[in-house]
């Protein structure tokens, strides 16, 4: 992150980066829902329909690989490309970013996620919410709240560990952060997408919840706390772990 950029420029970078995650990454989840056989006829949001549409889990994972990776290369030198409130909070807790910047980043991230969702509805129609559920995250059928919470904690721990290793540590390999961090997201989608939805990111979950509320999509607010709290705790745990094990000697 460069000091040559103003806070406004950094906020715009965070907005656009999170916008990419929602519009292109989560957009692929919406399209998956909308292409499940008979989805339009049933006119219903069916969570376990994921994996049976045109893209499948492979398509969704690849979409997230690029939707996360490219903004890191585009904006990493501007704002650090947190594009995730859990990352911002973890770096603030460990005094790597100040409180004012943290608040501006988080607001920008949530706005980016929400506006991306609204624009997706405008280009695809309200079925993006009523049938596609805006790609919102929720525990899959048969998955308990505790299991979903644990999964989100684990995958965000590894995401934040990647951020520390690829982007924060001064000994990190050059020009690898975008691919490395985005690959962790893709792995999470492959392995845990049909457990918790593989959010990793409070803004990624909050944006679709807000847009669903506006456009008549499913009401998933009852599980929102999972996707707000578990990623933040996982990210904080990863930073402290990395600091103690790998940065202690610096």
Per-residue pLDDT reduced to its tens digit, 15-35: 999 999 999 999 999 999 898
CATH number reported for the structural domain that contains residue 67 in this entry = 1.20.1080.10
What is the count of structural domains for the chain?
Answer: 1
Q: What are phi and psi of 54, to 5 degrees?
A: -70, -30
Domain contains 194? yes
30's tokens: 């919406």
Alpha helices in 21-144 (DSSP H): 27-34, 39-42, 56-79, 85-93, 99-124, 127-130
Q: What are phi and psi of 132, to 5 degrees?
A: -75, -15
Domain contains 1? no
Q: Note the Cα 100 to chain centre separation in Å.
A: 22
- Sequential DSSP letters for 173-184: PTT-HHHHHHHH
List Cβ neighbours of 245 (8 Å cut-off, separation of 6 or more): none
Domain contains 24? yes
107's tokens: 């607001």
Report the predicted TM-score, pTM, of the whole model to 2 decimal places. Answer: 0.93
Task: Quote the pLDDT of residue 12.
Answer: 98
Task: Quote the pLDDT of residue 1.
Answer: 58
Distance separating alpha carbons of residues 119 and 215, to the nearest angstrom: 12
Domain contains 250? no
Q: With beta carbons less than 8 A apart as the criterion, state whether 83 and 71 touch.
A: yes
What is the Cβ-side half-sphere exposure of residue 27, based on CA atoms within 13 angstroms? 24
* Domain with 152 in it: 7-245
130's tokens: 């009523």
pLDDT in tens, 48-77: 667 778 899 999 999 999 999 999 999 999
Q: Which residues of the chain have pLDDT under 50?
A: none
Task: Quote the pLDDT of residue 37.
Answer: 77
| 166 secondary structure, DSSP code | I
Task: Quote the pLDDT of residue 172.
Answer: 82
Domain contains 2? no
């Amino acid at each position: 992150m460069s000091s040559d950029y103003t806070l406004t420029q950094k906020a715009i970078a965070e907005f656009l980066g999170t916008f990419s995650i929602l519009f292109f990454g989560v957009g692929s989840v919406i399209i998956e829902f909308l292409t499940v056989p008979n989805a339009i006829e049933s006119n219903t949001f069916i969570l376990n329909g994921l994996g049976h549409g045109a893209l499948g889990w492979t398509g969704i994972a690849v979409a997230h690989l690029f939707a996360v990776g490219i903004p890191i290369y585009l904006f990493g030198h501007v704002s650090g490309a947190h594009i995730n409130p859990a990352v911002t909070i973890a770096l603030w807790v460990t005094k790597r970013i100040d409180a004012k910047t943290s608040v501006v980043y988080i607001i920008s991230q949530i706005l980016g996620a929400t506006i991306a969702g609204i624009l997706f509805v405008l280009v695809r129609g309200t079925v993006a919410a009523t049938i596609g559920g805006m790609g919102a995250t929720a525990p899959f059928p048969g998955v308990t709240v505790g299991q979903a919470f644990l999964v989100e904690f684990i995958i965000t721990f590894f995401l934040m560990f990647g951020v520390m290793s690829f982007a924060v540590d001064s000994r990190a390999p050059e020009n690898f952060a975008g691919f490395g961090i985005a690959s962790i997201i893709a792995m999470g989608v492959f392995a845990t997408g049909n457990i918790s939805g593989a959010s990793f990111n409070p803004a990624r979950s909050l944006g679709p919840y807000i847009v669903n509320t506006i456009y008549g999509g499913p009401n998933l607010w009852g599980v929102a706390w999972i996707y707000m709290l578990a990623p933040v705790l996982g990210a904080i745990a990863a930073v402290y772990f990395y600091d103690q094990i790998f940065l202690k000697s610096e």
